[in-house]
Amino acid sequence: MTAAGRWRELQEQRGIPPEIVARAPESPWKHDPKHFGAPEQAHDTPSRDAALAVLDGAGGAVLDVGCGGGSASLAVAGSADLLVGVDHNPGMLEVFSADCTARGVTFRTVLGEWPAVAGEAGSADAVLCHHVGYNTVDFPPFLLALTEAARRGVVMELTARHPMAWLDPLWLRFHGLRRAEPATADDAVAVLVELGITPTVVRWRRPARLPEDPEWVARRLCLPPQRVGEVAAALAEIPPRARDTVTLSW
């Protein structure tokens, strides 16, 4: 099997069975945009270092694919002339726009899915894509569009394993669902290599990014609010979410 085929298979198997989704009181994929705002002080991470190395003090445009609130691009805004935020969620783009405006950063936004909106987004000196890769099933077109949009380089940040794999024991406990093997950053590297791209790989550990309270987990598990107490008890019995992170740049 090709690396791209393996990625597709692993990602397709991570889907939630439709009968479970149908019973969910609200969407398990719902995200509150307020949780994705960029920090006031940019965190010093290997991904930020890689983006700054791409810009190399020469300024230019930064394209942030799946920008959320703009944490990736706003971290290097002081070294850029323009930030372009792409996201399929209008609420995320509102947070991104508000932060850019408050900080006096020149920006524009593109609403839609990557790579469908790649033409509208245009090219940039640095293309950043943080924590979006595992949302993608057909990976090669996604990666190639990032590469084609970059005049100087691409920086992608991923968790070392699929970010929801830590909840697999709870899917088994609450739904009797044995989850398939998760995709990993190594699988992403294999797809890139298959495309003729050899990325620089930096492995590191980052702090928590998103809420992981029992209410949030219950929603991810398609469970109603009255089962939050059971979820809290179950969370105490499984290992905490891993923070292992990988920065890929090319």
- Render the burial of 169-190: b for 16+ CB within 10 Å, e for the rest: ebbebbbeeebbebbbbebbbb
pLDDT given at position 210: 64
Instruction: Look at residues 140, 97, 114 and name the one whose alpha carbon lies nearest to residue 8.
Output: 140
CA 75 to chain centre: 16
In order along its 250 residues, the chain shows pLDDT tens digits of 999 999 999 999 999 999 999 999 999 987 777 777 788 888 899 999 999 999 999 999 999 999 999 999 999 999 999 999 999 999 999 999 999 999 999 999 999 999 999 999 999 999 999 999 999 999 999 999 999 999 999 999 999 999 999 999 999 999 999 999 999 999 999 999 999 999 999 999 987 666 689 999 999 999 999 999 999 999 999 998 889 999 999 9
- What local confidence, expressed as pLDDT, does residue 103 receive? 96
Residue 211 pLDDT? 65
What pLDDT sits at residue 158?
Answer: 97
Q: Which amino acid is present at 116?
A: A
Contacts of 57 (CB under 8 A, 6+ apart): 79
CB count within 10 Å of CB 56 equals 13
Q: What is the DSSP string of 186-246?
A: HHHHHHHHHTT---EEEEEE----S--SHHHHHHHTT--GGGHHHHHHHHTTSPPPP-EEE
59, two tokens? 């300024």
Whether the Cβ atoms of residue 12 and residue 212 lie closer than 8 Å to each other? no
Question: What pLDDT score does 209 carry?
Answer: 66
Q: Provide the token pair at 174.
A: 């609450």
170 conformational bin, left if phi > 0, alpha if psi -120 to 50, beta if neither: alpha
Strands (E), the chain: 61-65, 82-87, 107-111, 124-130, 150-159, 200-205, 244-249
